[in-house]
Structure 1
Amino acid sequence: MRTNLSVEEALSLVLEEARGELSVEELPLKEAYGRVLAEDLASKVDHPDQDDTAIDGYACREEDTRSASPETPVRLRVIGEAPAGRPFPGEVGPGEAVAVYTGAPIPKGADAVVRVEDTRREGEHVLLFAPANPKDIRPKGDDLKKGEVYLKRGDLLTPGRLGLAAAMGYPRLKVFRRPRVGILSTGDEVVEPGEPLPFGGVYNSNAYSLWGMVLEAGGEPVLLGKVPDDPEAVLARLGEAGPLDLLLTSGGVSMGAYDVVRRVLERHGEVIFWKVKQQPGGPLLWARLRGLPVLGLPGNPVSSMVTFFLYGRAFLFRLLKRTDPPYRSLKARALTPFKGAKGKKVFRRGVLSFEEGLVVRSTGNQSSGVLRSMAFGNALVVLPPDQDVREGEVVEVIPLTFVL
C-alpha cells in the first residue's frame, strides 16, 4: 500500500484501473440524451442535399441585378415560387426571378438571391432595390458531407449532437452502458432524512450528493444504504452489492478506532493507496475488493464531494471513453484571499463570475463540514502546497460543472 501521495500520483493510479470495456446498447434518439456514443458516426446524406437559399427573397441571375439601388431599382418578372420542400421545376432566364423561402432549393439558372426586405412586389413583377448576393446561397454539403465522420466514439450526446445525429440520418444510436456505481454509507451516527435525529446524529447527505454526482458524470448510481461501524456488517453489505463497476464508500477511511472500511479492505481486499496530500479529502482510499475498484471517500460532506469530483468522476470518464476532459482549469483574479496549507494541495470553494474578466471570491467558511459551500459555490480554487493567494492575484480555478 502506498500512502501520502500527491494529487497527481493518486489520480494516475485511479485512472490505471479504468481498463474495462463497457458493453454497448442501442437506443432510439429520444432516449440517447446524456449518453456516450460507442461508435464513430459518418453522415448518411449531404446537407443541404443541393444548393438552397439561406434567406427569404427572390432567386435570380446576379448579372441582371448589379445596377439595382433605391434610386434605380431593377424590375424582374416573377415566374413562380419555391417554398422549402417544393422545388421550382423550371429554369430562371434573363430578367426573371423565382420567389424562394429559407431552405428552398435554388432554381436552375439562378445564381444569387436578393433579400425580400430589399424588394417590392408589383403584381407579376418585383422591384429590386439592391443587387442579389451569391453568398446567400448555401452550397450542397455546406453543413454535412455524405460519408464524413462528424461524431466520434466517446462523444457525450448533448442536445446539439443529438440533432446532428438526426440530421445525418440516424434514428438509433449505439451508446456505452452506464457504469453501475454503488454508494455505501457507514457510521453509527448517520441517519436517513425523515427519521428522528438522535443526539450527535447527522442526516445522510453524502449518499444523495454522490447520487447526483454519479448521474451527472454518466453513471448509474446504486444506493446500498447505510451500515454501522462494524467490520462484519460492512463486509456483508459489500458482498451483497451485485455487479458494479465502481464502489463508493462514504466515511470509515480515516485513522479512528471506528473507521472500519479501511481495515476491512486491508484484510479482505487490496489497498492501492491511502491518504493524499490534499485538503480537503486527505484520507482518501483507493482499493480493490474481489476485482471491484473501491473509492473510499472521507465522511465530511465537502471532502466526499471534492474527492469524488477529482477522482471518481475522472474514473467514470475514462471508463466511458469520453472525448471531453472530466474538468477544466481556468485562470481568474481573486476578489478575496485564499489560504493554502503546508505540504498539501488545497481546493477552496469559490464563486466564479465574469466582471470585466473572470473573477472568483470565497464562499466563506471553508470547513470540510460546511456543505453550503458546495451547494452555492461553483468552482474549486486550486492552491499549490505552501501557497496563499492574496486579493487581486491570479489563481487557478476548476469550474464545478454540476452547479448551476
Structure 2
Amino acid sequence: MRQNISVEDALESILSQVRPIAESEAVPLNQAYQRVLAQDLASKVYHPDADDSAVDGYAVRGEETITASVSTPVRLEVVGEAPAGRPFSGEVRPGQAVAIYTGAPVPKGANAVVRVEDTVRDGTGVWLLKPANAADIRHRGDDLRLGEVYLHRGAWLNAARVALAAAMGYPSLPVVRRPRVGILSTGDEVVEPGQPLPYGGVYNSNSYALVGQVQDAGGEPVVLGKVPDSLEVLKRGLAGVGQLDLLLTSGGVSMGKYDLVRRLLESEGNIHFWRVKLQPGGPVLFADYRGLPVLGLPGNPVSSMVVFHLFGRPLLFKLLGRTDPPYAGVQAAAATAFGANPSKRVYRRGVLRWTPQGFTVESTGNQSSGVLRSMVEGNALVVLEAGASAKVGDSVTVIPLGFTI
C-alpha cells in the first residue's frame, strides 16, 4: 500500500485501475441530454439540402441589380413567393424577382438576394434600393454534408450536440450505460436529515452532495444509507451493495480507532494507496473490495466534495469514455491573500469573477474543511503548491467548480 503520495500519483493510480464501460443503449433524443455518445455519428443529410436564403427579401438575377441605389432604383416584376417549406417551382427570368423568406430554397435562375429592408414594394413589382448580395445565399451543405462525422464517441451530449444530432437526422442516440455508483456513509454520529439530532450528532450532508456530484459527472447514484461504527455491520453493508461500477464511502478512512473502512479494506481488500499530500482531504483511500473499486472519501463535508472533484470525477469520466477534461484551471489575480501549507498542496475555496481586466478570485473566508457554506459561497478552488502562498495581485491557478460565475 502506497502512502502519502502526490495528487498526480494518486490520480494515475486510480485511472490505471479502471476500464471504460463497454455497454451502451439507445435513447430518444429527449433523454440523451447529459449522456455520453457511444459511437461516431455521420450526418444522414445535407444541411441545407439546397442553396437557400439566409434573409427575408427577393431572389433575383444579381447582374440586373448592380446599379440599384436610392437615387437610381431598379424595378423588377414579382412573379411569386417562396416561403420556407414551400419552394417556388418556376424559374426567375430576366426582369423578374421572387419574394423569398429565410430558409427557402433559391429558385432556379436566381443567384443573389436583396434584403427586404432595401426594397419598396409597388403593386406587382418591387423597387431595389441596393444591389443584391450573393453572400446572402447559404449553399447546400454549408452546415452539414451527407456522410461526414460531426459527433464523436465520448462526446458529452449537451444541448448543442443533441440539437446537432437531431439536425443530422437521428431520432435516437447510442449512449454509454451510466456507471452505477454506490454512496455509503459511515459513523455513529451521522443522522439522516429530518431525524432528531442527538448531542454530538451531525446530519448526513455528504451523501446528498455526492448524489449531485455523481450526476453532474454522468453517473447514476445509488444511495446505500449509513452504517454505524461496527466492523460486522460494515461487512454486511458492503456484501449487499449489489451490482456497482464504483463505491464511494464517506468517513472511516483516517487514522482513528473507529476508522473502520480503512481497517476492513486493509484486511479483506486491496488498498492501492492511502493518504494523499493535499489539503483538504488528505486521508483519501483507493482500493478494490472483491473486484469493486472503492474510493474512500474523508468525512468532513468540504474534504469529501473536493476529493470527489479531484479524483471521483476523473474516475467516472474514464468509465464513461468521456473525451472532455473533468476539470481545468484558469489564471486569476488574487483579490485577497491565500495562506500556504508547508508540506501539502492546498485547494482553497474562492469566489471567481470575470472583470474587464480578466479573472479575479477572493477567499470565501474560513477555510476549515467542516465549513460547508464555503462550497456554496465559493465557485472555485485556488491551487497552491506546498509552501506557496499568494499575496493580493499575485496570479494563481484556479479550478472553476462548474457553478455560475
TM-score when normalising by structure 1: 0.99
Give the superposition deviation at 1:402: 4.8
Give the superposition deviation at 1:231: 1.0
The residue that corresponds to 1:52 in the other structure is 52
Determine if contact 2:65/2:131 at 8 Å carries over to the other structure. Answer: yes
* Counterpart code for 1:394: S
The residue that corresponds to 1:92 in the other structure is 92
The residue that corresponds to 1:185 in the other structure is 185
The residue that corresponds to 1:371 in the other structure is 372
Determine if contact 2:20/2:318 at 8 Å carries over to the other structure. Answer: no
Task: Say which SS state the counterpart of residue 313 (structure 1) adopts.
Answer: helix
Determine if contact 2:344/2:387 at 8 Å carries over to the other structure. Answer: yes
The reply on whether 1:287 has 2:287 as its aligned counterpart is: yes
* Counterpart code for 1:229: D
The residue that corresponds to 1:269 in the other structure is 269
The residue that corresponds to 2:244 in the other structure is 244
Q: How does 1:158-173 map to 2 (within 5 A)?
A: 158-173=158-173
Give the superposition deviation at 1:71: 1.1
The 1-side partners of 2:110 and 2:264 are apart by 78
Identity of aligned residues (%): 65
Q: How does 1:105-124 map to 2 (within 5 A)?
A: 105-124=105-124
Give the superposition deviation at 1:166: 0.6
Q: How does 1:20-99 map to 2 (within 5 A)?
A: 20-99=20-99
* Counterpart code for 1:309: H
TM-score when normalising by structure 2: 0.99
Determine if contact 1:216/1:402 at 8 Å carries over to the other structure. Answer: no
Gaps of 5+ in 2: none
Determine if contact 2:27/2:172 at 8 Å carries over to the other structure. Answer: yes
The residue that corresponds to 1:361 in the other structure is 362
- The count of aligned residue pairs is 404
The 1-side partners of 2:323 and 2:78 are apart by 51
* Counterpart code for 1:70: V
Q: Deviations over 1:58-109 (max 9, x none)?
A: 0001111111111111111111100011111111111111000000000001
The 2-side partners of 1:325 and 1:188 are apart by 37
The residue that corresponds to 1:385 in the other structure is 386
The reply on whether 1:397 has 2:398 as its aligned counterpart is: yes
The reply on whether 1:140 has 2:140 as its aligned counterpart is: yes
Q: How does 1:165-244 map to 2 (within 5 A)?
A: 165-244=165-244
* Counterpart code for 1:42: A
Give the superposition deviation at 1:157: 0.9
The 2-side partners of 1:296 and 1:22 are apart by 25
Determine if contact 2:21/2:176 at 8 Å carries over to the other structure. Answer: no
* Counterpart code for 2:47: H
The 2-side partners of 1:216 and 1:261 are apart by 26
Give the superposition deviation at 1:343: 1.6
After superposing on structure 2, the runs of 4+ consecutive aligned residues of structure 1 that deviate more than 6 Å are: none
| Closer, same or farther: CA 22–402 of 1 in aligned 2, 3 Å | farther
Determine if contact 2:187/2:251 at 8 Å carries over to the other structure. Answer: yes
Give the superposition deviation at 1:362: 0.6
* Counterpart code for 2:367: Q
Give the superposition deviation at 1:403: 5.5
| Closer, same or farther: CA 20–90 of 1 in aligned 2, 3 Å | closer
* Counterpart code for 1:322: R
Q: Deviations over 1:205-261 (max 9, x none)?
A: 000000110011100000010001111111110110000000000000000111110
Determine if contact 1:218/1:316 at 8 Å carries over to the other structure. Answer: yes
Gaps of 5+ in 1: none
Task: Say which SS state the counterpart of residue 4 (structure 2) adopts.
Answer: strand
RMSD in angstroms over aligned alpha carbons? Answer: 0.8
The 2-side partners of 1:59 and 1:249 are apart by 66
* Counterpart code for 2:41: L
The 2-side partners of 1:215 and 1:271 are apart by 26
Give the superposition deviation at 1:376: 2.0
The 1-side partners of 2:54 and 2:328 are apart by 36
The 2-side partners of 1:141 and 1:52 are apart by 10
Determine if contact 2:331/2:359 at 8 Å carries over to the other structure. Answer: yes
